[in-house]
Structures are given as C-alpha cells and as structure tokens.
Chains A and B, each alone.
Chain A
Amino acid sequence: METLAAAIAILLRWEVLGALLVGSVGGVIIGAVPGVGAAVAIAILLPATFAMEPIVGLTLLLGIYGSSMYGGAIPAILINTPGTAVNALTTYDGHPIARDGNPKRALSLAYSASFFGGIFSVVCLILLAQVLALVAPHFGSREIFLAALLGVVLVVLAHRGKVFVAGMLACFGIFLNTVGLEPVKYTRRFTFDQTWLASGIDLIVVVLGLFALSQAFLLLVDKDTHPEATRVEGGLFEGLKELWIYKRVATVGSSFGVLMGMIPGVGEFTSQFMSYTYAQKTSKTPELFGKGAPEGLVAAESANNAVPGAAMIPLLALGIPGEALTAMMLSVFYVHNVIPGPQLFANQMPFVVALYIGLFLLNIFVLIFLIFSTNQILRVIRIPSRFLGVMILTLAFVGLYSLRNSMTDCAIGAAFGVFGLILKRLDLPSVPIVLGMVLGGIMEVKLRSSMARVKSPLDFIDRPIAAIIFTAIVLVISIHLWTYFRRTGKTAGNRRENRD
C-alpha cells in the first residue's frame, strides 16, 4: 500500500501527467501516419528529453511507445495501409468492414479491442510485479547473459524464411557494438586509426539511420502518393458494447499478446498471427476471415496492443529488450539514469509501479482522445508521401545533431539510412542489428563478470534459472532445426513426386 501511495505521488504532478498526455496523443498521431511509427518518433524525441527530469522524459516516450498502435489502426482500416507495421493484420478484416460502408463500426471495434488488450496487459504486469520482485534478484550475471543470448537466438529464429540474413545482421549489430575503445584494456577495436571511431558507434545514431532516415529516403525517392480517407460520421462508443460479444477472442488474443510480449524477440507479429489463427479456427464463420470478420479485427488489435505492456516485463526486470522499440526504451532508461534490472525492483519499486500506472492511464487517455478526434487525425493521414519524407528528414536532424553536435554522427546516420533503405527494399529486417547492438553489449559485460566465478563450463549452468534458460536455448534451436528440416524435406519430396 505504501508502494502504491509513493507511486501515485510520483505520477500526480502536472509535468508528469502533461508528458503522459502529450506522449499518448502524439503517439496516436504519429502511429496514424503511414511510414513514421513509434521507433522514428522515439529516436527523434529522445535527445529532446535529455534536459527533462527522468520521470517526465520517460513518461513522454512511454506514452508514444504505448499508444502508437492505436493510431496505426486508423489508416489500416480506412485506406488499407497500416500506420505501423504491426497493424498489417488489421487491414485483413478492418478494411473490408469499412469498405462495406461501416468504417465507424470497424474503428470503434478496433479502438475497443486495443483498449482491452492494453488494459489486460497492464493488469497482468501489475499482478506479476510481486512475482518479478521475488524472482529478479536471483538473476546474476550468468542468468542475464543467457537471457540476452536467448533474446538473440529468438530474434534470429523469429524471422522465418530469413534466418540466415537475420543471423548475419544480428552478428553485424554485435560487431558494431565492439567498435571503439574497449572497457577492459582500453585498446581500440576496429577504429582503423580514425579518431572519430574511437568513441564507438552510438545506438541512437544507428536507430535514427535505420528507421527515420531510411524511411525519409524511401518516401523521397519513391513515387509520390496522396492517401485519401473519408470522414467518419457518428459516435464511436458502440465498439465497447460490441466487444462484449467477442470477449472470448479478446481475452485469448490479449493473453497471446502478453505471453509473446514477455518472450524476447517474438513480439507483436507472432502474437497476432497466433491470436488470429485461434479466432479463425474457433469461429462459427471462419469463411468470413479476411473478408470483414469482426472477430479477426478483435483478435489482431487485442493481441498487438497487449504487447507493449508485456514487453516491459523482461525490460524492467532483467534489462533485456525484446524488440527494436523496447531496445530504444532501454536506451531511454539509460539516458535518464534509470538502470533496468533486478536492482530496479529491489530498490525503486514505487518508480516501477508508477510506470505501470502510467501505462494504465495512457490507455484511458488514448481511448478518450480517439473517440473524439478521429476525424482530425485523418488530416495527418492525407499528407502527401514525399512531403512526409521532407518532414521526417528535417525532424531526424534534431535527433541526430543534438546528440553531440557532430557532423560525423550525421554522416554515419545517413550511411545507415541508405543501408536501411536497401534492407526495406529487399524486405529484410533491420531489427536484428539494433538488438544485436544492445544485447551484444549486455552479453560482453555479463559474460566477462560471470566467468570470473566459473571454473568448468558446467558451473555456468549449475544454478536453477541459468539451467532453465540454457535448456530453453537448446530446445528453441532444436525445435527450429527439426521443423525446418522436416519442411524442406517434405518440399523436396513433393517436387520429386511431381516430377515422377
């Protein structure tokens, strides 16, 4: 009870609530613009929060992180273009419902399902907080190293059909993190005698290049498009009532979101597909899926919106990010001198609870904002694509240049922008690079400190949690290889049969 009171005291300040409100509203608007997304916004705004108090800066960026997916549903439903990549599945059923003359129903159902998913995950987070507080102190260096390794393995294996390239890019990310002065012997690594490489390659610079500049370049080089979205007439409250009909799908979808969100490297896509497949398999009208099934829309939105809250669990408890956005949130925490990990739960529980309550409040802010402002948000969607490119490029300057006022950072960012554009054009993932950089740094530090107390390799996994994580790594790799060989074997067999 004392913890709760202390947490409320942290939050109940006008600047904190203001930051949460601005972040939530800003996140919805940013999420609604196809091609921008929360990663770009957080990367651009992060340096702007340097001067703010940690809790103010954190709640501002937390607001953007937690609310962008709400906004992403708007263009997904109205113009069949997802605002953020994770809203892709929303187009399957949301757009057909809107196209059949019912955009209000589709939007209100999407908002309600997202709200349900968001609140569900925060409630799970709050319920799990006590358990995490008990478990987290048992995570020593070797457990955190193994958890980070599991994160890398999952990030690579989660990219089905692109495992080799994901592995290559994750290793590239780990390598990038090693460039510069190393922390033990203070020798230079891969600096090629260039002084500008001695301080290493900044994560924010890479993120801004890969996400913001690459998107700006893509929009500027590609054909100009002028998205059109028609006004939505009538109130948007009905969805809350309709959601009650699909409460089972919403609950299962949110549970998938929470479960998958907690596992590093898995995230929104897997949870959405699992939730959507479940909804389709258990539906009385599975033939409607993809043609305007409300259950499909509820399954997709409740699952993807439950992820941000759940992804905060490994981030806060272990300091392990699960995907690109949480990797960026990790740097947000570091910049504001809040070090996620077991010590955070032991020493700053009111702060953790304040973040949970903040996440809870932002879902309420966002729902109210969306119900009354959807038509105003439509104006943002109508921005021509190349103009949007000019806007992102201008904003990316703020993020890049204000870090260290360095022309070199901007040049590195621009190089990663071109690299990110190539990855986007080839439909290859850039997330493994970011996670490789973050998790590589964690692995290097934790392996070094844990090996000081290890005499034989088996000592490394002689503690229960370390043994469990190690078993999970072996199992995940074995299952992946087994299913992969079985599938490729079947494909080759089928081809031979067809030839015969």
Chain B
Amino acid sequence: MAAKSGFVSFFKRERHPGDLAFAVAFLLLSVFLVSQLGEQAIWAKRTKFFAQPAFWPTISLSGMLLFAVLHCIGSLASPRTPGRGPEVIFWIRSLEYSVWFLIYVWIVPRIGYLGATLLFTLALTYRVGYRTKDMYLGAAAMGVGIVVIFKAFLQVKIPAGQVYELLPDGIRNFMLLYL
C-alpha cells in the first residue's frame, strides 16, 4: 500500500480537462513513429555510429516514447478534472479557423493579395460575430494597411493574382508590383 502511494505521488501532477486524451494521442504517435524507425531511417554500412542517418531519429524517438509513457502514467495517477468532452470539442472547433486560413492562402495567388485579404478580414469579422459598420471599416482598414506595409513598402515575396492579367496595362503593372 505504501509502495503504491509512493508511486502515485512520484507521478502526481496538475491535470487539466483533456489531459489524458492528449497524453494517449501523443503516446500513440510516439509508438507509430518508433515502429517506422527501420523503414524511414537507415543504418548505413561503413559509416561511424554517431554519423549514422538513423542515430538521431532513434535517440529522439526513444526519448519521446519514454517521456510519453511517463506523461501518460502521470495523467492516470493524477486526480481527474471533469470536462474532457467539451475540451476536445474546443480543440476541434479550432480546425474551422485552420480551414479559413488555408482558403485564404489558396485564393491569394488567384484574386491577388489585396482582394483576398479584404475578403478574408471582412468575412472572418462577420463570422466571429462583429456586425457593426465600425468593425467592418476597421477590418477593411486593417486589411489594406497590412497589404500596403508588407507588399508595397517591405516588398515581401507574395505572388500577384491571376486576375491582374485581365486589368489594363497601367493599372496591371501597379497592381503586380505593389498590391
């Protein structure tokens, strides 16, 4: 009994809702990656041990697996805080904004940086619940400001939109260079 109590206190820690779900998921990832060591990294012939291509993946994945097991035990040994379901749903909800972001990335080379940014900031402002004229104006000003600062002034490497090809010569050159 005393040995069990000592074991539990060794691993006991603060545990937030969703902690076990994360610990188990990471442990599974570690197991999967370790299982791929033979396939995905080679031990080359006539090469010193420390220069082997598989040396560092083996070291890092072994460490990852060891600590993932310990973290998982810690999660099981610590008092549970209810709320795993809502917490996991919170994580999943963030995927929606990843999709928003990737759509933005996808449309930039098509309709151009300025148009895509304006569309993105205005639509996302609407989506997150701001419905006033001031907020839309703020979102548009922010979008234009970011494009002007980064593309026109700092000349950051962002490709021009395909639709710019349809514009008249003078405006097209300006749009290609600055917006």
Q: Which of A168, A410, A447, A448 contacts B64 (CB 8 A)?
A: A168
12 residue pairs bridging A and B, Cβ less than 8 Å apart = A167-B67, A168-B68, A171-B63, A171-B67, A172-B64, A221-B93, A224-B129, A393-B97, A393-B100, A401-B108, A448-B51, A496-B5
A405 and B156 contacting across the interface, CB-CB below 8 Å: no
A164 and B70 contacting across the interface, CB-CB below 8 Å: yes
Which residues of A are found within 8 Å of B87, using beta-carbon distances? 425
Verify if B59 is at the interface (C-beta below 8 Å from A).
yes
A405 and B16 contacting across the interface, CB-CB below 8 Å: no
A421 and B91 contacting across the interface, CB-CB below 8 Å: yes
Residue of B nearest to A156 (CB): B67
Q: CB-CB contacts of A53-88 with B at 8 A, as 1s and 0s?
A: 000000000000000000000000000000000000
A-B contact count (CB 8 A): 213
Which residues of A are found within 8 Å of B47, using beta-carbon distances? 184-185
Verify if A278 is at the interface (C-beta below 8 Å from B).
no
Q: CB-CB contacts of B136-174 with A at 8 A, as 1s and 0s?
A: 001100110010001000111111000000000000000
Verify if A389 is at the interface (C-beta below 8 Å from B).
yes
Which of A28-36, A302-310, A484-492 is the contact stretch?
A484-492
Residue of B nearest to A222 (CB): B90
Which residues of A are found within 8 Å of B9, using beta-carbon distances? 488-489, 491-492, 495
CB of A155, distance to nearest CB on chain B (Å): 13
Verify if A165 is at the interface (C-beta below 8 Å from B).
yes
Verify if A213 is at the interface (C-beta below 8 Å from B).
yes
Which 8 A-B residue pairs are closest in the complex by CB-CB distance?
A168-B67, A171-B63, A175-B60, A174-B60, A171-B64, A167-B67, A217-B94, A414-B98
A184 and B40 contacting across the interface, CB-CB below 8 Å: no
B74 and A184 contacting across the interface, CB-CB below 8 Å: no
Which residues of A are found within 8 Å of B44, using beta-carbon distances? 185, 187
B16 and A386 contacting across the interface, CB-CB below 8 Å: no
Given contacts A171-B60, A192-B40, contact A182 B53 (CB under 8 A): yes
Q: Which of A221, A390, A401, A426 contacts B18 (CB 8 A)?
A: A426
Which residues of A are found within 8 Å of B41, using beta-carbon distances? 178, 187, 189-190
Q: Tell me which of A182, A192, A386, A491 has the highest count of chain B C-beta atoms within 10 A of its own C-beta.
A: A182
Q: CB-CB contacts of A35-64 with B at 8 A, as 1s and 0s?
A: 000000000000110110000000000000
CB of B3, distance to nearest CB on chain A (Å): 10
Chain A residues within 8 Å of chain B by Cβ, number:
77
CB of B29, distance to nearest CB on chain A (Å): 9
- What 13 new A-B contacts, CB under 8 Å, besides A213-B101, A398-B156, A411-B102? A162-B13, A175-B57, A182-B53, A190-B40, A190-B57, A220-B94, A390-B121, A391-B142, A407-B102, A421-B94, A426-B18, A488-B6, A495-B5
A378-409, CB < 8 A from B: 384, 386-387, 389-391, 393-398, 400-402, 405, 407
Residues of chain B touching chain A, judged by Cβ–Cβ distance below 8 Å, are: 2, 5-6, 8-10, 12-14, 16, 18-19, 22, 26, 30, 33, 36, 40-42, 44, 47-48, 50-51, 53-54, 56-57, 59-61, 63-64, 66-68, 70-71, 74, 87, 90-91, 93-95, 97-98, 100-102, 104-106, 108-109, 117, 120-121, 124-125, 128-130, 135, 138-139, 142-143, 146, 150, 154-159
Q: Tell me which of A50, A168, A426 has the highest count of chain B C-beta atoms within 10 A of its own C-beta.
A: A168
When chains A and B are docked, how far (Å) is the Cα of A174 from the Cα of B33? 13
A224 and B40 contacting across the interface, CB-CB below 8 Å: no
Which residues of A are found within 8 Å of B6, using beta-carbon distances? 488-489, 492
When chains A and B are docked, how far (Å) is the Cα of A488 from the Cα of B6? 7
A174 and B63 contacting across the interface, CB-CB below 8 Å: yes
When chains A and B are docked, how far (Å) is the Cα of A20 from the Cα of B155? 19
Given contacts A47-B156, A164-B67, contact A190 B33 (CB under 8 A): yes
Verify if A364 is at the interface (C-beta below 8 Å from B).
no
Given contacts A384-B130, A405-B157, contact A492 B60 (CB under 8 A): no
When chains A and B are docked, how far (Å) is the Cα of A426 from the Cα of B138? 33
Verify if A216 is at the interface (C-beta below 8 Å from B).
yes
Which residues of B are found within 8 Å of A398, using beta-carbon distances? 146, 150, 156, 158
Verify if A296 is at the interface (C-beta below 8 Å from B).
no
Which residues of A are found within 8 Å of B67, using beta-carbon distances? 164-165, 167-168, 171
CB of A375, distance to nearest CB on chain B (Å): 20
Residue of A nearest to B7 (CB): A492
Verify if A427 is at the interface (C-beta below 8 Å from B).
yes
A220 and B128 contacting across the interface, CB-CB below 8 Å: yes
B5 and A425 contacting across the interface, CB-CB below 8 Å: no
Residue of B nearest to A217 (CB): B94
Residue of A nearest to B123 (CB): A390
CB of A40, distance to nearest CB on chain B (Å): 14
A397 and B48 contacting across the interface, CB-CB below 8 Å: no
B138 and A217 contacting across the interface, CB-CB below 8 Å: no
Given contacts A164-B74, A448-B50, contact A422 B157 (CB under 8 A): no
Given contacts A51-B155, A425-B87, contact A397 B22 (CB under 8 A): no
Which residues of A are found within 8 Å of B128, using beta-carbon distances? 220, 224, 386-387, 389-390
Q: CB-CB contacts of A435-454 with B at 8 A, as 1s and 0s?
A: 01000100110011001100
